[in-house]
Chain A
C-alpha cells in the first residue's frame, strides 16, 4: 500500500507539475500582452538621487575622459532621423527576407514564415564619445563608443502542421567600441580606399528572446551562456587585431598606378593641307594620353613636306586603359609665331587588344565634335602603329603598397646588402629669416640628393622617394637631412639659408626595417620634418 501510494504520489506530482505549468503558462505568460511599449523618459533634472546613482556607471566617456570628444549633435541628428531610418531599414529587411523565406520554406514543410511585427523601436543608438588617434601614417583612426539600447519588436510567426509559433526579439542591447580606420588616403574622392573595422573589446550583448511568449533568456544560466557564446563568436571574427575590411576604391585606380605601356610608332601622313603661304607645310606630330599630366611627345619636323614619313617610336605609360585614349595632333611648324593646327584624331585605348601591334590609318579632323561640319573637309590622313603592352600580373602590386610592410629588394642586390629607401614626406613650421622657399637635401655616404623646390611655404609637402643600393647594412652610418631655402629673386644678399637639419642614425632602420617619424629640426625654432626610412633586403 505504501509502495503504491508513493508511486501515485510521484505520478500525481508529475502530472500536477505538467498541469500547473500549462495553467501557469496560459495564465501568466501566454495571455500577457507581447507588444513593446515605449519607455517613459523623464528629464534628468526631475530624477531623484537614487536613479542618478544608477546612472553613474553609464556616464558617457566624453565626460570622464578629456581625450574623448562629445558628439551630442550626432546623437541629436540620429535621434531625429531615427523614426525614418527605422521604417526604411525594416522595409528593406522585409524585402530582402521575403524571397529567401519563399525559397527555404518548401524544404522544411512549413506553411509560412511571416513578420508579425518588425520595428527597431523608438530608442536610437547613441555615441557616448568619439576619440581620434593621430599617427604619422596615411590613415585616419577613430574610435566611437557606440551604445545601442533599443526597444525593438521583431516577431516572426512560423506556421507548420496547422500550428502557429512565434519568436520574438525584444530589448536588444549592444555596446561596443569599434575602431574605424580609413586607409590608405588617396587623392581621389572619397579620399580613402578602405575602411577597416575592428572591436577593441568584447561587445556587450543583451536581449530578450520570447518563444511563444516565454522569454528564454530569463531562464537562469541560459542567458549567461548565450551571451558568452555570442561574445566569443563575434570576438573570433572582429576582435582586434582581427578586422573587417570594406574596400571602397579599386586600388589601382585610386592610386593611378601605371598598368601598362603603349608603344606608338608614327609612320607617316598623307595628303596634308597646305598651310604656309610659300611652299608646303612643315608638319610634326604631337601626342599624349588623355588625363596625363606629362608633357606631350613630339616627332621631328619634316620641312616642306605634305606626305611626310617619320617612322619614329614613342613609349607612353598607361594608367587606365578603359578611359584613357591617345591624342594625336599634327601641327605646322613655324619659325615665328604660333604653330598652326593641321588636324587631329584620337585612338581610344579600349579599342586595342593587348600585346598585338595594330596599324591604323586615321582621317584627320578639326576636332572630335561629330556634328561639326568642318570635319567633313578632307585634311589628309595619318598612319600609326600602336601596341598596348599591359604589365604582367605579378608586376602590379595586387594590393596597396601597404605602408607597414616593407617590400623586398629588387633582384640583383648583393647578398647581405639591400636597398635603403628614404621618403621625405613633409616639414612643418620651417621659417627662414629672409625667405622660405624650402627644399630638402639628403646627404648619405657623400652622395647628395635633393627634393623639389617649393615656393613660399612654411609647411612644405614633398612626398619624394630616394633609394640607395648598398652592399652591407648601414649599421654605423648616419643620414644627414637639411632643409634649405633659396631666394626666389636673383638677390645677392641672401641667396641661401639653412632652415634646419637633422642627423639620423641608421642602425635602428636596419633592425626595424621601417621607421616613419617626425624629427625636430636642429637650428630651427619649431621646425619638424617627417621622414620615412625603409631597409629592404632580398
Chain B
C-alpha cells in the first residue's frame, strides 16, 4: 500500500516538475518574443509613434523629414573625400583618356587632361528614403547635393593651333538619385541595381566652361548648345524613366523586367495653332511644330509660311515608355534663315490621358517649360492637338522594341559612315542621338548650323565631364557611362 501511494506521489511530483519546466519554457519564450516584438516595433518610428511613447517630453532634436537625414554619413564622407577624390581621379584618367582618344575628332592630335581635380568639397547627402513598391525590389531615393569646386582642364592639341586648354569649373549637381535594388535569394542578395535621376524635382547640373586663352564664349550660341546637349544626354539616359541597369553578383537574372520598354504609343494630330507671336521683321512667322516624348525621337510638321494661325492637320505616332512620368512636349518654331527661333513650348503629361479614348485639347504656349525662368507673361498663343493613347499588348510591344532598335542601328551606321549632321527626322538644329550598347557608351551627335570645322567631343564618367571646343558651330559629342560591359542600356534601349 505504501509502495503504491509512494509511486503515485512520486508521479505527481515528477509531473509537477515537468509542468513547472514547461511553464518556465513558456514564460521565457514569451519574454523573449515580446522583447523581439518591441525591438521590431521601435525599428522604424513615425512622429505619432514617438508622441505616443514620449508624451509631451518629446526631445527637440528629433524631426521627421520626408527624406531621412544622414548626418553621420556626411561626416564620414567629408573626412573620406580627399582619398575618394584621389582614387576617382586615377580611375577617370585611366578610363576616360582612352575614350577621349577614341572620340577624338580629326584635326586634333591629342586630347588629354592636363589637370583633373575634384576639389575639396565633398558631396553631401541631404536625405535618404527607402520604400518598396514591388515585391522583391527596394527603392532608395538619395537626395544628392554636390556644390563642388572641381577643376578639370582638358588640353586639346590641334595640328594647326598650338594648344587650347578648356576648363570646366564650378560644377554643381543637385539631384535625387533613385537606386532600385533587385533582390535575389543568393548572396549578395542583390542581383541588379538600377540607377536613375528623378525627374521631379528636375535635376540641376550647372557648370562653367572656359577656354583658357581661347574664346569659347566668343562664338555665339555655343555655350547654349553645349548646355542643351548635356541636358539632352541627362534627360534621355539618366532621368527617370530612363535608367542604367547594372547587374551585379554574377547571378543570372532576367533583366528585361527592369529595363525600359515601350509601354504604349500616343497618336498625335497637330491640328492648328492660334495667335502665334510674330518673330520676323518683314511678314509673319513661318511656324512649324516639333513634338516628342523622348528627345531621342523627335518629329516635326511641315512649315507653313507667313501665317500666325497655321493649320497643319498632321498625324504622328510616338512611343511611350512610362505613362506615369512622361509628357508630350510640343515646341513651335519659326523657320528662318540661320537659327530657328522658338515661338513657344508646352507639355501635356500623359497621365492625363485615358487609354484608347481620343481627346482634343487646347494648350497654351509658354516661353519655357521651366516656370522659374519665365519673365514675360505675354500671351504666346495656343496650339490645338488631338491625342489618343494606346497601350501596347505583348506583340505590339516587341514589334515596337524591334523598330526602335532598327532605327538606332541605322543611325549608328550613318554616324560611322561619317555623316555627322542631322541624321534624323528632326529639325536642322535638332538633337540626334546615337546609342551604342557595344561600346558601353552613348554617343550623341548633334548638328549645329552645318558649318564646317572640327567637332566637339565629350566624354563623361561618373560626374567628370569634359568638353572640348573648337571654333566652329558644328559639333559632335559623346557621353559615356562605363558600366559593367555585359549590360549597358543607357539611352540605347
Contact = CB atoms under 8 A, between A and B. Distances in A.
B41 A188 contact: no
Interface in A58-105: 58-60, 62-64, 66, 69-77, 79-81, 84-85, 87-89, 91-92
A204 to B, nearest CB: 10
A123 interface: yes
A218 B28 contact: yes
A306 B140 CA distance: 66
A524 interface: no
Contacts of B188: 88
Contacts of A32: 22
Interface string A451-489: 000000101010000000000000000000000000000
Contact of B72 (A9, A15, A80, A131): A131
A206 to B, nearest CB: 6
Given A20-B15, A191-B84, A8 B3 contact: yes
B16 to A, nearest CB: 8
User: How many of chain A's residues touch chain B, expressed as a range?
Assistant: 35 or more
B54 interface: yes
B52 A13 contact: no
A171 B49 CA distance: 26
**Interface size bucket, B side?**
35 or more
B183 A76 contact: no
B90 to A, nearest CB: 7
A21 B18 contact: yes
Interface string B119-146: 0100000001111100010101000000
Interface string A4-23: 01001111111111111111
A457 B120 contact: yes
A191 B83 contact: yes
B84 A58 contact: no
B44 A75 contact: yes
A130 interface: yes
Contacts of B40: 41, 123, 126, 149
B87 interface: yes
B36 interface: yes
A279 interface: no
A187 B83 contact: yes
Contact of B18 (A24, A55, A132, A206): A24
B41 A12 contact: no
Contacts of A11: 3, 6
B38 interface: yes
Given A20-B15, A59-B53, A123-B36, A132 B25 contact: no
B14 A16 contact: yes
Given A77-B130, A150-B36, A188-B90, 7 more contacts: A16-B14, A20-B12, A21-B18, A24-B15, A44-B41, A128-B42, A134-B79
Interface of A: 5, 8-25, 27-29, 32, 39-41, 43-45, 47, 52, 54-56, 58-60, 62-64, 66, 69-77, 79-81, 84-85, 87-89, 91-92, 123-124, 126, 128, 130-132, 134, 140, 142, 147, 149-151, 170-171, 173, 185-189, 191-192, 206-208, 214-215, 217-220, 223, 457, 459, 461
Nearest first, the 3 A-B pairs at minimum CB distance are A16-B10, A20-B14, A24-B18
